[in-house]
Amino acid sequence: KQEVTQIPAALSVPEGENLVLNCSFTDSAIYNLQWFRQDPGKGLTSLLLIQSSQREQTSGRLNASLDKSSGRSTLYIAASQPGDSATYLCAVSYSGYALNFGKGTSLLVTP
Amino acid sequence: SQTIHQWPATLVQPVGSPLSLECTVEGTSNPNLYWYRQAAGRGLQLLFYSVGIGQISSEVPQNLSASRPQDRQFILSSKKLLLSDSGFYLCAWKGGYNEQFFGPGTRLTVL
């Protein structure tokens, strides 16, 4: 079974800290990996997409890395802000059409 | 630019009643479309996907069905709702590089 696990389930940090969210997957034969942000009661916002041939992607204060051999991806958030508070979801595609989601990490950045 | 709409935003229905949720996409043609469900305490689960008009693939046997009557319209239906159908229903489309983009979602509560 192709499982995606996100650790920790919840995280609280003071404003300004750099932080890392983790995602692991059991099958390394991935097509791509996508990180999303979900605000309470809202849809998903795509943050970063990493193709299987890539090692990392960056967008502003966000950096996502991919290590297929170890079955891991990390999302690094620099200089966190209260507006970064949300649930962050990792999703792995093995086929190019369906996404397998982790249960997410709920992030709270306190002022 | 592409935009994805879902309605209604929220819905409260009694057990045994029918269901119809609608998703439309603007700004693209012949998109791959998806229905996901997010239940409390669980990750997102792919329900259906469609690669074109009248073409539906089901990922999970259940009380729900999907239809694609037009190129940019995707409908999720049920003839008789169950309590277990409660959840947050998300529609998505697949863009370039197989990146998926999600709509705002429909919160369904079955009582």
Nearest chain B CA: its distance from A44 CA (Å): 6
Which SS3 state, helix, strand or coil, does residue B84 take? helix
Tell me the sheet residues that pair with A37. A45, A88
Cα–Cα dist A22/A70, whole Å:
12
pLDDT digits (tens, 9 = 90+) for A22-79: 999 998 889 999 999 999 999 999 999 999 999 999 999 999 999 999 999 999 999 9
| Beta carbons of A104 and B94 less than 8 Å apart | no
Picking from A88, A91, A110, the residue whose alpha carbon sits closest to that of residue A102 is A91
| Beta carbons of A51 and B59 less than 8 Å apart | no
Strands (E), chain A: 4-7, 10-14, 19-25, 32-38, 44-51, 56-59, 62-67, 72-77, 86-93, 100-101, 105-110
For chain B, how big is the Rg over CA atoms in Å? 13
What residue in A sits closest to B103 (Cα-Cα)? A43
- Is the pLDDT confidence value at A1 over 80? no
A79 φψ region: left (φ > 0), alpha (ψ -120 to 50), beta (else)? left
Average pLDDT, chain B: 93
Sheet hosting strand A19-25, strand order edge to edge: A4-7, A19-25, A72-77, A62-67, A56-59
| Beta carbons of A36 and B42 less than 8 Å apart | no
B24 touches chain A (CB under 8 A): no
User: What pLDDT, on the 0 to 100 scale, is given for residue B70?
Assistant: 95
Cα–Cα dist B57/B52, whole Å:
11
Q: Which residues in chain A are closer than 8 Å to B56, comparing Cβ atoms?
A: none
What end-to-end distance do the CA atoms of chain B give, in Å? 38
Nearest chain A CA: its distance from B70 CA (Å): 20
- Residues of chain B predicted below pLDDT 50: none
Interface of B with A in 68-107 (CB under 8 A): 90, 92, 94, 97-105, 107
pLDDT digits (tens, 9 = 90+) for A11-34: 999 999 999 999 999 988 899 999
